[in-house]
């Protein structure tokens, strides 16, 4: 991706984070001094500085050269979905805890902004996931996009019968509490907690991780991202839920299936320092600390 001249900056803040509103105002003031225009989603609550332009989410994605995310990884996941399919570079600033995706600390923010505005950065592309809900007629009734994962789970406290098909071939039928389909970026999220593998985030593969399968023979699978995975299910309650990135939930009805594959577009993240993923992993997971 060609680095663009940055004159129009969007900001996606999470005002629920401590100090975020104060830092947001400081960033707006700093960008004003750099003669960069600032825009936010029109849904952002509260009074904002007069220089900040409010735009509908779709217009915001079309009109900015950079999106600065102020929050944690959850805030960044929501921002990545909101931008799709526009490949606007994202600079994530960590107000949260672990911060796998938002790698810039608050203390590094203005140095990072200065470096980014002068073009001293690289772009890292992260795969997005496209997830469709298929009705009984085989046609999609909803399509969602996610950066981390899509989770199918039973609506109550029971288990569900799952049939997993990858690349048009039935892999198997089994009982489980659910199924996670994750991107390499999402390999360090829910999939990891469910026993899935950790993948370098630029790998061109997807992960299928069963949630508490009721047989020891079923294990997480890694398969090429050009393949499509389909999950058919049935359960006593007659309904289940699809959860994308842990943030968007849709109810599924008996007879519906989910189909997931690599999305046509990727998310683009600003990289300011050349650090190995394994170095980041060691630091975030405190291996050998």
Distances (CA, A) of 259 to 61, 226, 227: 27, 13, 11
Rounded (5°) CA angle 56-59-60: 80
Question: HSE (CB half, 13 Å, CA atoms) of 270?
Answer: 30
Distances (CA, A) of 97 to 100, 143, 153: 9, 31, 27
Question: HSE (CB half, 13 Å, CA atoms) of 60?
Answer: 25
The label of the residue with tokens 């217009």 reads 59
| CA dist., res. 177 & res. 190, Å (int) | 14
Beta-carbon contacts of 216 under 8 Å, excluding residues fewer than 6 positions away, are: none
| CA dist., res. 47 & res. 112, Å (int) | 26
| CA dist., res. 34 & res. 257, Å (int) | 50
73 a catalytic residue: yes
Using a 10 angstrom Cβ sphere, with 0-12 exposed, 13-18 middle and 19 or more buried, the burial of residue 2 is: exposed
* Active-site choice (32, 65, 73, 103): 73
DSSP letter for each residue of 45-111: -S---TTEEEE-HHHHHHH-SEEEEEE-HHHHHHHHHHHTTS--EEEEEE-SSS-SS--EEGGGHHH
Is 287 strand, coil or helix?
A: coil
Query: What positions carry a catalytic annotation?
Result: 73
């Amino acid at each position: 991706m060609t680095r663009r001249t940055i004159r129009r900056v969007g900001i996606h803040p999470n005002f629920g984070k401590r100090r975020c509103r104060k830092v947001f105002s400081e960033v707006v003031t700093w960008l004003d001094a750099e003669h960069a225009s600032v825009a936010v989603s029109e849904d952002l609550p509260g009074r904002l500085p007069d220089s900040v332009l409010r735009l509908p989410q779709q217009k915001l994605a079309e009109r900015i050269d950079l999106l600065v995310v102020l929050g944690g990884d959850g805030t960044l996941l929501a921002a990545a979905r909101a931008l799709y399919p526009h490949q606007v570079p994202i600079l994530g600033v960590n107000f949260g805890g672990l911060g796998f995706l938002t790698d810039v600390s608050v203390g590094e923010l203005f140095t990072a902004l200065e470096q980014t505005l002068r073009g001293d950065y690289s772009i890292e592309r992260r795969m997005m996931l496209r997830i469709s809900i298929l009705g009984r007629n085989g046609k999609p009734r909803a399509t969602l996009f996610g950066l981390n994962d899509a989770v199918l789970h039973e609506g109550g406290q029971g288990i569900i019968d799952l049939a997993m098909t990858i690349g048009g071939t039935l892999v198997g039928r089994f009982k489980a509490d659910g199924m996670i389909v994750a991107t390499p970026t999402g390999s360090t999220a829910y999939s990891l907690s469910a026993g899935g593998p950790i993948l370098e985030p630029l790998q061109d593969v997807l992960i299928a991780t069963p949630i508490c399968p009721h047989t020891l023979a079923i294990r997480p699978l890694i398969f090429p991202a050009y393949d499509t995975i389909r999950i058919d299910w049935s359960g006593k309650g007659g309904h289940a839920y699809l959860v994308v990135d842990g943030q968007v939930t849709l109810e599924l009805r008996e007879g519906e299936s989910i189909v997931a594959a690599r999305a046509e577009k990727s998310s683009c993240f600003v990289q300011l320092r050349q650090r190995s993923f394994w170095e980041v992993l060691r630091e975030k997971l405190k291996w050998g600390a």
